[in-house]
A and B are shown apart, each in its own frame.
Chain A
Amino acid sequence: MATYLEFIQQNEERDGVRFSWNVWPSSRLEATRMVVPLACLLTPLKERPDLPPVQYEPVLCSRPTCKAVLNPLCQVDYRAKLWACNFCFQRNQFPPAYGGISEVNQPAELMPQFSTIEYMIQRGAQSPLIFLYVVDTCLEEDDLQALKESLQMSLSLLPPDALVGLITFGRMVQVHELSCEGISKSYVFRGTKDLTAKQIQDMLGLTKPAMPMQQARPVQPQEHPFASTRFLQPVHKIDMNLTDLLGELQRDPWPVTQGKRPLRSTGVALSIAVGLLEGTFPNTGARIMLFTGGPPTQGPGMVVGDELKIPIRSWHDIEKDNARFMKKATKHYEMLANRTAANGHCIDIYACALDQTGLLEMKCCANLTGGYMVMGDSFNTSLFKQTFQRIFTKDFNGDFRMAFGATLDIKTSRELKIAGAIGPCVSLNVKGPCVSENELGVGGTSQWKICGLDPTSTLGIYFEVVNQHNAPIPQGGRGAIQFVTHYQHSSTQRRIRVTTIARNWADVQSQLRHIEAAFDQEAAAVLMARLGVFRAESEEGPDVLRWLDRQLIRLCQKFGQYNKEDPTSFRLSDSFSLYPQFMFHLRRSPFLQVFNNSPDESSYYRHHFARQDLTQSLIMIQPILYSYSFHGPPEPVLLDSSSILADRILLMDTFFQIVIYLGETIAQWRKAGYQDMPEYENFKHLLQAPLDDAQEILQARFPMPRYINTEHGGSQARFLLSKVNPSQTHNNLYAWGQETGAPILTDDVSLQVFMDHLKKLAVSSAC
Chain B
Amino acid sequence: MNVNQSVPPVPSFGQPQPVYPGYHQSSYGGQSGSTAPTIPYGAYNGPVPGYQQTPPQGMSRAPPSSGAPPASTAQAPCGQAAYGQFGQGDVQNGPSSTVQMQRLPGSQPFGSPLAPVGNQPAVLQPYGPPLTSAQVTAQLSGMQISGAVAPAPPSSGLGYGPPTSLASASGSFPNSGLYGSYPQGQAPPLSQAQGHPGIQTSQRSAPSQASGFTPPASGGPRLPSMTGPLLPGQSFGGPSVSQPNHVSSPPPQTLPPGTQMTGPLGPLPPMHSPQQPGYQPQQNGSFGPARGPQPNYGSPYPAAPTFGSQSGPQPLPPKRLDPDAIPSPIQVIEDDRNNRGTEPFVTGVRGQVPPLVTTNFLVKDQGNASPRYIRCTSYNIPCTSDMAKQAQVPLAAVIKPLASLPPEEASPYVVDHGESGPLRCNRCKAYMCPFMQFIEGGRRFQCCFCSCINDVPPQYFQHLDHTGKRVDAYDRPELSLGSYEFLATVDYCKNNKFPSPPAFIFMIDVSYNAIRTGLVRLLCEELKSLLDFLPREGGAEESAIRVGFVTYNKVLHFYNVKSSLAQPQMMVVSDVADMFVPLLDGFLVNINESRAVITSLLDQIPEMFADTRETETVFVPVIQAGMEALKAAECAGKLFLFHTSLPIAEAPGKLKNRDDRKLINTDKEKTLFQPQTGAYQTLAKECVAQGCCVDLFLFPNQYVDVATLSVVPQLTGGSVYKYACFQVENDQERFLSDLRRDVQKVVGFDAVMRVRTSTGIRAVDFFGAFYMSNTTDVELAGLDGDKTVTVEFKHDDRLNEESGALLQCALLYTSCAGQRRLRIHNLALNCCTQLADLYRNCETDTLINYMAKFAYRGVLNSPVKAVRDTLITQCAQILACYRKNCASPSSAGQLILPECMKLLPVYLNCVLKSDVLQPGAEITTDDRAYVRQLVTSMDVAETNVFFYPRLLPLTKSPIESTTEPPAVRASEERLSNGDMYLLENGLNLFLWVGASVQQGVVQSLFSVSSFSQITSGLSVLPVLDNPLSKKVRGLIDSLRAQRSRYMKLIVVKQEDKLEMLFKHFLVEDKSLSGGASYVDFLCHMHKEIRQLLS
The interface of chain A, by Cβ under 8 A from chain B, is 172, 174, 177, 180, 182-190, 193, 195, 202-205, 244, 248, 250, 253-255
Contacts and interface: CB of A to CB of B under 8 A. Distances in A.
Interface in B598-625: 600-601, 604, 607-608
A48 to B, nearest CB: 48
Interface in B547-572: 555, 557-558, 565-572
B578 interface: yes
B657 interface: no
Nearest to B582: A188
B566 A248 contact: yes
B601 A203 contact: no
A174 B570 contact: no
B585 interface: yes
Given A182-B607, A190-B575, A250-B585, 14 more contacts: A172-B580, A174-B571, A182-B600, A183-B568, A183-B600, A184-B569, A186-B569, A186-B572, A188-B558, A189-B574, A189-B575, A190-B580, A248-B565, A253-B583
Contact of A187 (B573, B580, B583): B573
B651 to A, nearest CB: 12
A183 B604 contact: yes
A244 B569 CA distance: 12
B636 to A, nearest CB: 20
B572 A187 contact: yes
B582 A172 contact: yes
Contacts of B558: 188
Contact of A174 (B567, B574, B580, B582): B582
A183 B570 contact: yes
Contacts of A195: 575
Contacts of A187: 571-574
Interface string B93-109: 00000000000000000
Contacts of B568: 183-184
A203 B574 contact: yes
B788 to A, nearest CB: 40
Contacts of A248: 565-566, 569
Contacts of B572: 177, 185-188
Interface in B150-205: none
A244 B574 CA distance: 25
A244 B565 CA distance: 11
Interface residues of B, number: 26
8 contacts: A183-B601, A183-B604, A185-B572, A186-B569, A186-B572, A188-B573, A248-B566, A253-B584
Contacts of A189: 573-575
B575 A203 contact: yes
Interface in B805-839: none
Contacts of B583: 172, 188, 253
Given A182-B600, A183-B608, A188 B555 contact: no
B617 to A, nearest CB: 15
Contacts of B601: 183
Contact of A254 (B557, B575, B584, B600): B584
Contacts of B565: 248
Nearest to B568: A183
Given A253-B583, A253-B585, A185 B600 contact: no
Contact of B570 (A185, A190, A244, A254): A185
Nearest to B605: A183
A692 to B, nearest CB: 47
Contacts of B580: 172, 190
Interface in B388-437: none
B570 A182 contact: no
A451 to B, nearest CB: 28
A186 to B, nearest CB: 5
B1 to A, nearest CB: 75
Contacts of B575: 189-190, 193, 195, 203
Given A172-B582, A253-B584, A186 B570 contact: yes
Contacts of B570: 180, 183-186
Contacts of A250: 585
A250 B571 CA distance: 14
A479 to B, nearest CB: 57
Nearest to A172: B582
Contacts of A203: 555, 574-575
Interface string B830-855: 00000000000000000000000000
A168 B607 CA distance: 26
Nearest to B570: A185
B578 A193 contact: yes
A248 B564 CA distance: 10
B586 interface: yes
A244 B566 CA distance: 10
A460 B798 CA distance: 98
A390 to B, nearest CB: 33
Nearest to B583: A253
Nearest to B632: A254
A496 B572 CA distance: 42
Nearest to A191: B580
Contacts of A204: 574
A185 B566 CA distance: 13
Contacts of A174: 571, 582
B577 to A, nearest CB: 9
B608 A188 contact: no
A180 B605 CA distance: 12
Contacts of A253: 583-586
Given A187-B572, A188-B572, A254-B584, A182 B578 contact: no
A255 B634 CA distance: 13
Contact of B567 (A172, A184, A193, A205): A184
Of B574, B585, B586, B608, most buried by chain A (CB within 10 Å of CB) is B574
Contacts of B573: 187-189
A205 B572 CA distance: 11
A227 to B, nearest CB: 13
Nearest to B614: A205
Contacts of A184: 567-570
| Complex A-B, nearest 6 residue pairs according to Cβ-Cβ distance, in ascending order | A203-B574, A188-B582, A253-B585, A185-B570, A187-B572, A188-B571
A189 B572 CA distance: 8
B934 to A, nearest CB: 37
Contacts of A188: 558, 571-573, 582-583
A490 B575 CA distance: 36
Given A187-B573, A188-B572, A203-B574, A182 B567 contact: yes
Given A183-B601, A203-B555, A253-B584, A190 B578 contact: yes
A379 B741 CA distance: 53
Contacts of A185: 557, 569-572
Of B555, B572, B584, B608, most buried by chain A (CB within 10 Å of CB) is B572
A182 B597 CA distance: 11
Contacts of B582: 172, 174, 188
Nearest to A250: B585
B578 A202 contact: no
Contact of A202 (B557, B567, B574, B600): B574
B729 to A, nearest CB: 29
A347 to B, nearest CB: 23
Nearest to A187: B572
A186 B557 CA distance: 9
Nearest to B586: A253
B248 to A, nearest CB: 68
Contact of A205 (B569, B574, B578, B584): B574
A147 to B, nearest CB: 19
Nearest to B571: A188
A28 to B, nearest CB: 58
A207 B112 CA distance: 76
Of B575, B584, B601, most buried by chain A (CB within 10 Å of CB) is B575
A195 B576 CA distance: 13
Contacts of A255: 584
Nearest to B555: A203
Nearest to B580: A190
B200 to A, nearest CB: 72
